Amino acid sequence: MPEGDSVWRVARRLDARLGGRTVVRSDFRVPRFATADLSGRQVLGTDTHGKHLLTRLSGGLTLHTHLRMDGSWTVLAPDKRLPRRVHPHVRVQLVLDDGQQAFAVKMPLVELLKTSDEHSVVGHLGPDPLRADWDAEEAVRRLASVPDRPVVAALLDQRCIAGLGNLWVNETCFLRGYDPWTPVSLVDLPATVDLAARMLRHSADHPEAAMVTTGSTRRGEQHWVAGRAGRPCLRCGTTVRVVAEVPGDPERRRTWWCPSCQPPRRSG
């Protein structure tokens, strides 16, 4: 699933291409909104909260989309056409007044709502490091609310911090030296939140460093532990380990760690 910084970059691309343009034709290929018509509405901009995209239009309407695993937004210039093989996967098509076309492809979540009702779809989310209203203290408070919870599960909980996914959570735990199952009560939460937020913002703001945590863009060296199961730790040489995700259990996502750099810490 794309992480918050990837979704943020999608929003910036949509802003650059669609912002200020007027929709001349729309086509929703989802049953609930099959008859929706956005023609005549101006695209005001696209905002994000965590992994949610909120494309606001004139008249107080918001197009809410979520990429999840396979969704994407594609914007084509007037002289370009979408490959025929992609057509069956289009969920939304927007034709703009300058001839551009925007397509939501394989988008698992598509809905229209009043802009004033956006809280109904993102109000449950925690603070987002990529938003102007980022509140680190509130993020720490939410993380600390369940002291016995494993830090990896708490950081992945979008209700605590919005936008962190497996990559950033596993890399944060490595860089802080925490075994992923360390209870939250034994974690320096302010320092951990600060590190995770800084990495997410750096990745969002610097395309050349997107999703890189080690400082190296060489293949196989971009991450300390994420995706490196069975390979030597880049810091100490110990074999990086992984536990598989447990389907249907939000507390058990795929987790990578170095047993030497991240020794277990247990309360008591």
Question: Of 125, 128, 157, nearest to 144 (Cα)?
Answer: 157
Would you call 263 a catalytic residue per the annotation? no
Q: What is the DSSP string of 206-242?
A: -GGGTT-SSS--STT-S-SSTT-TTSB-TTT-PBPEE
Q: Which of 41, 51, 142, 149 is catalytic?
A: 51
Q: Which two tokens stand for residue 169?
A: 């959570």
Q: Which two tokens stand for residue 116?
A: 């004033």
Decide: helix, strand or coil at residue 31. Answer: helix
Would you call 2 a catalytic residue per the annotation? yes
Query: How, if at all, do strands 43-49 and 23-28 pair?
Result: unpaired
Would you call 3 a catalytic residue per the annotation? yes
- How far CA 61 is from CA of 7, 42, 107, 117, 229, in Å, comes to 20, 10, 19, 9, 45
Query: How, if at all, do strands 43-49 and 90-96 pair?
Result: unpaired
Q: Which of 235, 252, 254, 265 is catalytic?
A: 252
Would you call 51 a catalytic residue per the annotation? yes
Residues taking part in catalysis: 2-3, 51, 252
